[in-house]
Amino acid sequence: MDKQLTHVHDTPPPGAAPDWTIPQNWEAFTADEHAMWDRLFARQAEMLPGRASEAFLRGIDVLRLEKPGIPDYRDLNARLKEASGWEVVAVPGLVPDDVFFDHLANRRFPAGNFIRTPEQLDYLQEPDVFHDVFGHVPMLADPVFADYMVAYGKGGLRALKFDALKQLARLYWYTVEFGLIREHGALRIYGAGIVSSYAESVFALESDSPNRIGFDLARVMRTDYRIDDFQQNYFVIDSLDQLLKLTVETDFAPIYAANAMLPPISIADILPEDEVITRGTQDYATAKA
């Protein structure tokens, strides 16, 4: 495993349960760590109205995430369970794929039990508690999205058997992490990787650089992605119901098989059959390259 990822382990580290969970130990967070949460929260809370999807903003309210400091899961989970049957569990960092999927399938969202340092304010490679709880958990309070994530977890366990994890991981990437949704004729953010990032929240909606393409399940599962910078493609769903319905009513096995015969689609490619919402200039990516 990549030695740069300090929170990655191969087996549950000392103190972790066989399912990799650890006690949140909320009392152990320092004043500086709570202050880092508050700083990140204030920045996002100010810019997300009018940019984040209705479901996300509702989740922030329902879960009372505006309370100062890193949320205490005893509190948070009482509200989250009531809203959708989900709960947040603490983990030391990234967990193995099968462990991750098993948690999701059972309505548990694993959240990294650490917070970024001031040097990592705008970019870190591993999901910390701000990305996991602020980015992911509000959407999990939405009953439809909550069911989508359960379906995804079950699908993940099946994908491992079909050797199709790479394809299914792209679905996660382009929906759960970097998804856009159409609401009242405009685009809004619901992906956790965007809503937890100040710069990408603006870029994803307002930049001329990226492509914005109508969501197509098989197409998305063929599309490569980048983990080191803003996305060059965003995929747009029409509703959370569309996403859930597709996921529970589609037999993924024939798509996996058909896609396996085709080359992956490059990060910024547009296909003739795409529903192009915005044809990006790719100026941002070109300038960086």
Q: In which residue are the tokens 């462990």 written?
A: 99
Torsions phi, psi for 117 (to 5 deg):
-90, 165
Element (H, E) at 181: strand 180-183
Residue 60 makes contact with Fe ion by CB under 5 A: no
Measured between alpha carbons, how far apart are the two ends of the chain, in Å?
Answer: 26
What stretches of 86-169 adopt beta strand conformation (E)?
Answer: 87-91, 108-112
CB 173, min distance to ligand HBI, A: 7
Q: Which of residues 96-125 bind ligand HBI (CB under 6 A)?
A: 97, 100, 110, 112
- Both tokens of residue 207? 């930049």
7 to 4, 227, 261: CA distances (angstroms): 9, 17, 36
For Fe ion, which stretch binds (CB under 5 A), given 3-11, 187-195, 210-218, 268-276? Answer: 187-195
Residue 192 makes contact with Fe ion by CB under 5 A: yes
Residue 138's binding partner among Fe ion, ligand HBI, none (Cβ under 5 to 8 angstroms by kind) is none
Residue 110's binding partner among ligand HBI, Fe ion, none (Cβ under 5 to 8 angstroms by kind) is ligand HBI
Residue 192's binding partner among ligand HBI, Fe ion, none (Cβ under 5 to 8 angstroms by kind) is Fe ion
Residue 94 makes contact with ligand HBI by CB under 6 A: yes
Identify whether the C-beta of residue 24 lies closer than 8 Å to the C-beta of residue 113.
yes
Separation CA 204–CA 53 (nearest Å): 13
Q: Which of residues 154-183 bind ligand HBI (CB under 6 A)?
A: 169, 172
Residue 127 makes contact with ligand HBI by CB under 6 A: yes
Shorter beta-carbon distance to Fe ion: residue 135 or 210: 135
Position 49: which residue type?
P
* Residues binding Fe ion (CB under 5 A): 127, 192
Could you list the residues that contact ligand HBI (CB under 6 A)?
91, 94-95, 97, 100, 110, 112, 127, 169, 172
